[in-house]
Amino acid sequence: MDILACPVCKHHPLELKIDKEDAKEVLAGSIRCAKCKIDYPIEDGIPNMLPPGT
């Protein structure tokens, strides 16, 4: 999270929302860009940082 930025507007930092986690990583949740109001989902521990619609 220290280095992640919104792939669309490059805003940093992003907001992390945790739905499920283990000792090492967030398993489910989302990463939100407050500037463009986009939520990037985290599924199976992998944030999907692809621009929406691709």
- Distant-in-sequence contacts of 31-34, Cβ < 8 A, 24+ apart: 31/1, 31/4, 33/6, 33/8, 33/9
Q: How many CA atoms lie within 13 A of 11 on its CB side?
A: 13
Would you state the structure tokens that stand for residue 28, as one six-digit string? 């489910």
- In the region spanning residues 1 to 20, those forming contacts with another protein, defined by CB under 8 A, are 3-8, 10, 12
Does 38 participate in binding another protein (rule CB under 8 A)? no
Minimum separation from the CB atom of position 42 to another protein (A): 10
For another protein, the closer CB: 18 or 46: 46
Binding site for another protein (CB under 8 A): 3-8, 10, 12, 40, 44-51, 54
